[in-house]
Amino acid sequence: MTYATKGPVAVLGLGTMGSGLASRLLDQGIQVRVWNRTPERAEPLARAGAFAASRPSEAVEGTSAAICTVADGDALSTVLRGPDGILARGGYPGALICASTVAPDEVVRLAGDAPSVLDVGMLGNRDHARDGELRLFVGGEERVFTAGRPLLEMLAKEVVHLGALGSGMRMKLLLNLLMGIEVQAMAEAAELAAASGLDRKQVLRTIAGSGFASPVMSFKSRRLAAGRFEEPDFRLRLMAKDLMLATEQAAASGLSLPLTAAAAETHVRATEQGFGDEDCAAVTRALTRKPGTDK
């Protein structure tokens, strides 16, 4: 019996992606149990039919799979190994799906001897998550992947098994590395355009319609043109975290990634300037000096 048909599914972490995944499961007739550090995030899902738990261990009671979509390694550690964590009182019998972007080695360490663990790199945005249009890149044992695949395919238009546990995170970091560099490069071009007397919006339209633009650049060009970074698709502080993880992975492998390192530094600086909870396109705010300062 597969994890998609065996019983309810828990979703822990109700940010942009977690909320979308929970909504998708509800729409597909799956019983859903949810948990979030700030309980008010669970209220819309509870009204839609989900059970809102007060702690992670309660959320996974009676479930066949648990999907963790929290922000970082510390949050994932709390959800899995904290006093009220999924694994705090022994093993979890269902499939434990770690879809939080953390260091690949951290997934392996936190999973420990849990019998059925997958790490999943998600490619897509909130709309893709809600509509089952994600692309998922999965690491973990073949038998666990095979059992969990029907559930994953309910959430995505493409599901790829890459290999051992940690592989999903390795792919996700590579993908976010590209996005961080691409969006920053476009933001730099737009800032140079404005400083040179060109019309910023016209330049961004030109970039978006050119052969140089990727789909994500075309999408983010609209945010840069409007200068609106609220209601983020992907928070800037999370991009900063992922770029730093990528540089750490590179250093551990003996590689020098100068573009990644430069993008990481810019995203960290923008986060420190207070823009971390805006969309990642707000990295453009770190490219201009504040009046009266050297920064």
- Asked if residue 131 lies in contact with residue 24, where contact means CB atoms within 8 angstroms, the answer is yes
Task: Judge whether 295 counts as a catalytic residue.
Answer: no
Centroid of chain to Cα 105: 17
d(CA 94, CA 257): 39
Q: Find out whether 264 and 249 touch, Cβ atoms under 8 Å.
A: no
How far, in Å, CA of 7 to CA of 201, rounded? 50
171 alpha-carbon distance from chain centroid:
12
| Backbone φ and ψ of 98, nearest 5° | -95, 100
6, 157, 172, 290: which is the annotated catalytic residue?
172
Catalytically active residues are: 172
